[in-house]
Amino acid sequence: MADNKIIVITGVTRGLGRALAERWLSEGHTIWGCGRGRDGIEALRRQWPDSRFEVVDVADAGAVAAWATRCLEGGGRPDFLLNNAAIVNANAPLWRVPVDDFGRLIDINVKGVFHLIRAFLPAMMERRRGVVINFSSGWGRSTSPEVAPYCASKWAVEGLTRALAQELPAGMAAVALNPGIIHTEMLDSCFGAMAAHYPDAVTWADRAAPYILGLGAGDNGQSLTVPGF
């Protein structure tokens, strides 16, 4: 397709990342996707053999850098970089959250975003074109009990994104995107049985996919929410 986009997506094996990847692949776009689950990555490879999917833990800076090098060696450059990968803590008051659980959440939700930006953004800046979309949350703009670590990580994503936006050259953008409340495994963890009352990831992607591809330089520095969610 003439308007083929190269889109990097983390957390591509399930939930919002997978729904977006499959929607865009069906439209002819190119996906460079990563996830921690080998079974999920291998399933995507079988279904979409012409795309690039790799097992990468975004918390591992070296693994992210090596993956980016492999992606970029063919000369293509991402049009969109989507930092979607994230985890949520098991519901608990902050003082009862295990130290290792808190650290792992920050490693993925905050450091992972930094690792991807550091690995892919310089190549995007060569063309002075492209959009970095860091997935935030309603809990990156408000708070709720028993998910303080997750709230902290998403507030960090909001601040990181706004600061990055001030550093980018004209023609590029960094956006913090709240996907809305979507029925995923993460929502099951937080909401329990109530999670089933919300739209699923595929339904969400039907609206979110074209909305995201419509974002551009004029949205730089904005904190946005997918309309309708």
Torsion, CA 194, CA 226, CA 185, CA 100, rounded to 10:
-110
Instruction: Please tell me the pTM assigned to this model.
Output: 0.93
How far apart, in Å, are the Cα atoms of 144 and each of 148, 191, 228? 7, 12, 22
Write out pLDDT tens, residues 40-86: 999 999 999 988 999 999 999 999 999 999 999 999 999 999 999 99
SS3 199: coil
Catalytic residue among 53, 67, 150, 155: 150
pLDDT at 184: 64
User: What would the pLDDT profile of 170-185 be if each residue is shown by its tens digit?
Assistant: 999 999 999 987 866 7
Query: What CATH code would you report for 6-225?
Result: 3.40.50.720
d(CA 183, CA 203): 10
Residue 227 has pLDDT above 60, yes or no: yes
- Give yes or no: 150 in active site: yes
Condensed to tens digits (0 to 9), the pLDDT of residues 107-161 reads: 999 999 999 999 999 999 999 999 999 999 999 999 999 999 999 999 999 999 9
- 26-51 CB burial, b ≥16 within 10 A, e <16: eeebbbbbbbbeeebbeebeeebeeb
Residue type, 67: W
> Percentage of the chain surpassing pLDDT 90?
87
The pLDDT score that the predictor gives to residue 1 is 45
Q: What is the pLDDT of residue 155?
A: 98
